Chain A
Amino acid sequence: MTTTDEPSAPGQAGAAGGSGRLGPPPWLALVFLLPALLFLGAYIIYPIVFSVYRSLWDAPGLEFVGLDNYVRMFTRPDTFIALRNNVIWLIVAPALVTVAGLIFAVLTERIRWATAFKIVIFMPMAISFLASGVIFRLVYEQDPESGLANAVITTVHDTFSPSAAYPDARPRPDGPVEPAGDVYVLESWAQPGRSVLVPLVGVSAEEVPAEAEPAAEAETRPGAITGTVWVDFTRGGGGEEGAIDPSESGLPAMEVQAWMDGELYATAMTGPDGTFALTGLEDGDYTVQLAAENFTEPYNGLNWLGPTLITPSIIAAYLWVWAGFAMVLIAAGLAAIPRDALEAARVDGATEWQVFRRVTVPLLSPVLMVVFVTLMIYVLKIFDLVFVIAPGSVRADANVLALEMWQVSFGVNDQGLGSALAVFLLVLVVPAMIFQIRRFRREES
């Protein structure tokens, strides 16, 4: 505002006045610093001081409570769950991201389409964390129809062990068929020349294959156990339990076995009307059983959003977002490494691994350290990904300090305790910041 003539004036005054002092007077320095100081004061110092002050007052801010909020903070189990998760984050995430960044950086040095590759890896940084969170919330959905992660896993799994035709079929609790482990067993013995009924329920109309026909009673045959496996449920109600009613459908392609004394004697598949014939049997008492393969539950993938996997799942999303950032910084550091050191090592007969391990990494360590510590600071205040990805039912399990602070301050409306949590978070970040500042100082000198 009034600085139009000031910058030149003091310089001249100093030189001409011969006051024995070179350079502008100290008060001018203060004038120049003032905007920055005001800015820092309003946006950083004041909020910190106010948070500390606020943390000494009760929830509505009406009564002074001293250190009460801090006592409460450290006696609530919620704080410890959040703290535990922050510790997991702190141990796993920065190391993981730095290593991933290092690998990408070193590998992209050698490939032809390095820039394209780097852009792809860096791309997630261009998306807001909230949007990344929404993307990963969908990726981790339980239902393979909508969740990408489980779609991949189940596809791979089903390629090796296809799921069964009737995963939901089961006997009625008080019917003639009993579950025994994975298989269903007919309660009473069966003898060749007799016909048996194997009623099942729990098969929906869509699950019954198109080729199925109305169930029919099997004809008896000498030397064979015959029978029917069918859906013992009349759609629309009515129907007699345990008897074949006209509209009830047979269950085709069901594997039926005859066992005696722990030995398998015969196997048969049911036809379209659900009938089967276990042939070639000598007289005796056989156990008729439905093989486990008929009922194998479809593999549903992992429970990414469940209480156990939630934190690793979110860390994986974090890796996706931040790997590019680490890669770019490390790649810049890599470009600055003196090539002759690497060449010298190679000439001396070092293998590529040894070059990487003994030369590249030590020379890169200052950069790696910067990336690592920066990530540590970011990880301590992680909020958005946890907030978006964790469903309400696992929020408590995935909780972190920053989220807890927000929730206590504005969800429960206890800004006293919230401020105490904020101060605690600040204290946790301070060591990393001091370390960072020291490093910058050392580099400058």
Chain B
Amino acid sequence: MPEHQWRGRGALAVAAAGALVAASACSPGSTPGAGSGELAGVELLVAAKWTGVEQDNFTEVLAAFEEETGATVNYESTGEDTGAYLGPKIEAEEPPDVAILPQPGLVAEYAEQEALVPLSGEAAGALEENYTDYWRELGSVDGEAYGVLLKAAHKSIVWYRPDSFEEAGVSAPETWDDLTGETATTLSDAGITPFSMCGASGWTLTDWFENVYLSQHGPEAYDQLVAREIPWDDDTVVETLETLGEVWGEEDWLAGGTDGAVQTDFPTCVTEVYGQENAAMVYEADFVAASAQEAGATVGEDAQAFPFPAVGEDPPVVVGGDIAVAMTEKEGVQQLMAYLASPEAQTTWAGLGGYLSANSEVQPDAYPDEFTQTLAQTILEAGDNVRYDLSDQVPSQFGATEGKGMWAVLQDYLRDPSDPEAAAADLEEAAASAE
């Protein structure tokens, strides 16, 4: 340990020198290839919102890079609000070397502020090799590639507790009508609260909305809504809100009633299902697996999921994800980006669980269980009908800020779903003021 520290100290001097060289020479592609001990002494800082198990898994992936190159990679958690963490750091010109952004909207925002370093050399090559056009587009601004979709999240699944379904004698529903008319009603008759809501975390409510909207009105309308070609007080939005009200409005169906639904945050809502067993289902993305495991459930056995039921003709496939960007020109940053974009890194991560890759080169058998394999397959195969999380594509003030915009309006709507028109009008107002 002491030896390691000494190395770390020498590292600072090397890193400083390296930064000087990089700043003055700054020619893309000139960075040396990664090799054993190539970056010995270089210290890099990576910031992402992950904590707990997700953080542990990510640092394990980083550890492989450290071993390979000799660099020291430190991890810092940004907390729930990555924008609030990075904003002051960018202003102070002391950003982390690599940041993992939760929204493509932020990539565009920071690129405009010239806070990002475009991918170059082997990093650009890795992106080109391993990702399809759709995902590359997401991390690009004006044709310049900045981001690597590092971690995908499948947001169109509903998690449930199989023993509660067995007790009530119901099976996973395929359509929304089955979900509300059969599954939830029967569970409720059996004295089991059907849903646990994560209302205090506003983004979970936007995910509900997106799935219902995408399935109800199709991918084209979805894209138009993102671009505000369809206004938010449109009839389609009202209809989706009404549909959501079929679940959100049933106080008996929500764990802790309406008050509980609005005050419970993610991942407490997962613990409600798999820990306290207060409810049968919780809707959120694949990353629920990590929290479910923490609550003592075994994913695939007593924590299972079914595809989000079809509200319209087709069931929706909404995908979210975290995008890695380089924020400094320090030596080793592009190598780290290249490593993160590589199938090796992502295969390692896949093996640790709670992870989905959008990398075309990551083989399905890299995932530890059949369930995740199927999820990965659907993302890669769903093709043109996949849509990226809507709330992460709109300006963050509207789609991703605590107590504002979509989050606040949907939380109010969950609290009192009696007036979908008024909620739609509020959404339109908030969307207009965020332009």
Interface residues of A (CB under 8 A from B): 60, 76, 78, 141-143, 168, 172, 201-205, 207, 231, 233-238, 300, 303, 305-307, 391-396, 399, 406-407, 409-415
Contacts and interface: CB of A to CB of B under 8 A. Distances in A.
A415 B83 CA distance: 13
Nearest to A168: B191
Nearest to A207: B191
A234 B259 contact: no
A235 B167 contact: yes
Contact of B403 (A172, A396, A415): A396
Given A142-B256, A411-B83, A391 B265 contact: yes
B403 A409 contact: no
Contact of A396 (B167, B170, B188, B408): B408
Contact of B192 (A172, A204, A411, A412): A204
Contacts of B170: 237
Contact of A238 (B169, B199, B252): B169
Given A237-B170, A391-B200, A413 B191 contact: no
Contacts of B190: 201-202, 204, 233, 235
B83 A205 contact: no
B167 A205 contact: yes
B411 interface: yes
Contacts of A407: 84, 401-404
Contacts of A237: 168-170, 186
Nearest to B199: A393
B109 A413 contact: yes
Contacts of A204: 190-192
> Max chain A CB contacts within 10 Å: which of B84, B403, B414?
B403
Nearest to B397: A412
Interface string B277-311: 00000000000000000000000000000000000
B260 A143 contact: yes
A141 B46 CA distance: 34
B189 A233 contact: yes
A391 B199 CA distance: 10
Given A393-B411, A393-B415, A396-B408, A76 B433 contact: yes
B166 to A, nearest CB: 6
A190 to B, nearest CB: 24
Nearest to A241: B189
Contacts of B262: 306, 391, 393-394
Contacts of A391: 200, 262-263, 265
23 contacts: A142-B256, A204-B192, A207-B191, A231-B191, A233-B189, A233-B191, A305-B263, A306-B263, A391-B200, A391-B263, A392-B402, A392-B407, A392-B411, A393-B199, A393-B200, A393-B263, A395-B402, A395-B408, A399-B403, A410-B84, A410-B87, A411-B81, A411-B83
B202 interface: yes
A411 B112 CA distance: 17
Given A201-B191, A411-B402, 9 more contacts: A142-B256, A143-B256, A307-B415, A392-B200, A392-B201, A393-B262, A393-B408, A393-B415, A410-B87
Given A142-B259, A410-B88, A411-B402, A236 B166 contact: yes
A202 B167 contact: no
B300 to A, nearest CB: 22
B202 A202 contact: no
Nearest to A170: B252
B167 to A, nearest CB: 5
A60 B111 CA distance: 12
Interface in B403-435: 403-404, 407-408, 411, 414-415, 433
Given A204-B192, A415-B91, A78 B404 contact: yes
Interface string B299-341: 0000000000000000000000000000000000000000000
> Max chain A CB contacts within 10 Å: which of B168, B190, B200, B407?
B190
A414 B396 CA distance: 11
Query: Which are the 7 A-B pairs with shortest beta-carbon distances?
Result: A237-B169, A204-B191, A395-B403, A410-B87, A201-B189, A393-B411, A396-B403
A78 B403 CA distance: 10
B24 interface: no
A231 B186 CA distance: 13
Contacts of B5: none
Contacts of A393: 199-200, 202, 262-263, 408, 411, 414-415
Contacts of B199: 393
B189 A202 contact: yes
Contacts of A396: 403-404, 408
Nearest to A172: B189
B257 to A, nearest CB: 8
A203 B263 contact: no
A399 B166 CA distance: 45
Contacts of A201: 188-191
Nearest to B260: A142
Interface string B81-117: 1011101100100000000000000000100110000
B309 to A, nearest CB: 19
Given A234-B169, A238-B169, A412-B397, A303 B87 contact: no
A415 B112 CA distance: 15
B83 A413 contact: yes
> Max chain B CB contacts within 10 Å: which of A201, A307, A409, A412?
A412
Contacts of A143: 256, 260
Contacts of A168: 191, 252
Contacts of A305: 263
Contact of B112 (A60, A203, A238): A60
A303 B200 contact: no
A410 B83 CA distance: 7
Nearest to A390: B403
B152 to A, nearest CB: 24
Contacts of B167: 205, 235-236
Nearest to A413: B87
Contacts of A205: 167, 191
